[in-house]
A = this chain, B = another copy of it.
Amino acid sequence: METSLRNHLKGKIPQIVEGSVVSELELETSIGIVSSVITTRSVTDMGLSVGQEVCAVIKATEVGIERC
């Protein structure tokens, strides 16, 4: 394994809401929409755009558990 970040969720980008500093990026995954807020600089540097397939990445310590 190359990373300690345990959670990687693959999905397609249906929408990017770009702000001046941060952007909201949604991923359409097999388990539903996953929502992410990253810097707009990263959106530009990575060349992210609607329709691309990318992975959401989440550190295990950021994941809570709820009854649902």
Report A's interface with B, CB cutoff 8 A: 1-10, 17-25, 27, 29-32, 34-39, 41-43, 45-46, 48, 53-68
Contacts and interface: CB of A to CB of B under 8 A. Distances in A.
Given A22-B21, A22-B22, A31-B9, A4 B38 contact: yes
- Total identical chains: 6
A57 B46 contact: no
A7 to B, nearest CB: 6
30 contacts: A2-B46, A2-B66, A3-B46, A3-B57, A4-B36, A4-B43, A4-B46, A6-B39, A6-B41, A7-B35, A8-B68, A9-B31, A18-B21, A19-B20, A22-B37, A24-B41, A30-B31, A35-B60, A37-B39, A37-B61, A38-B64, A42-B65, A46-B67, A53-B68, A55-B66, A55-B68, A56-B65, A57-B63, A57-B65, A58-B58
